[in-house]
């Protein structure tokens, strides 16, 4: 079972920041938080991951709380192409390191 809880859906205005929350209260010390997104009819696309420090790349920023029980993915300037399902995943860093997906958050960016 997925170890994360996300809102089912969110809306965001084009050009504004999209802040997607995720709860992972049972995360273990060696487990990373990964974010993927899936645009309709495509395979999931990696966005970003982190352990305990905040991370930023060309796509997004990841803010992880100090107790690591929750995180927020930030898309700084959302565009219509960012409309997708966003998955927050706690990844077990042993064995296969498979990804265990939940249902994700459907983000709709509106013009």
Partner 1 sequence: DTGVSQNPRHKITKRGQNVTFRCDPISEHNRLYWYRQTLGQGPEFLTYFQNEAQLEKSRLLSDRFSAERPKGSFSTLEIQRTEQGDSAMYLCASSLRVANTEAFFGQGTRLTVV
For position 101 contacting partner 1 by CB under 8 A, the verdict is yes
Strands 105-110 and 9-13: parallel
Q: Going edge to edge, which strands form the sheet with 32-38?
A: 9-13, 105-110, 84-91, 32-38, 45-50
Instruction: Tell me whether residue 13 or residue 26 sits nearer to partner 1 (CB atom).
Output: 26
Q: Is 16 in the site for partner 1 (CB under 8 A)?
A: no
Residue among 13, 46, 56, 79 that touches partner 1 (CB under 8 A):
46
Closest approach of partner 1 to the CB of residue 36, in Å: 8
Residues touching partner 1: how many (CB under 8 A)? Answer: 22
| Residues 71 to 90 in contact with partner 1, rule: CB under 8 A | 85, 87
Binding of partner 1 by 102 (CB under 8 A)? yes
CB of 30 to partner 1, least distance (A): 10
Q: What is the DSSP string of 42-109?
A: S--EEEEEESSS-EE-SS-EEEE-TTSSEEEEEETT--GGG-EEEEEEEEP-STT--------EEEEE
């Amino acid at each position: 079972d997925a170890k994360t809880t996300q809102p089912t859906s969110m809306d965001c205005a084009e050009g504004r920041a999209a802040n997607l929350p995720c709860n992972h209260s049972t995360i273990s010390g060696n487990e990373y938080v990964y974010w993927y997104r899936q645009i309709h009819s495509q395979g999931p696309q990696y966005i970003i991951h982190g352990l305990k420090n905040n991370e930023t790349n060309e796509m997004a920023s990841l803010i992880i709380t100090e107790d690591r029980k929750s995180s927020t993915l930030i898309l700084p300037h959302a565009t219509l192409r960012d409309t997708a399902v966003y998955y927050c995943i706690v990844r077990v860093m042993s064995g296969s390191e498979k990804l265990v997906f939940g249902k994700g958050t459907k983000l709709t960016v509106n013009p």
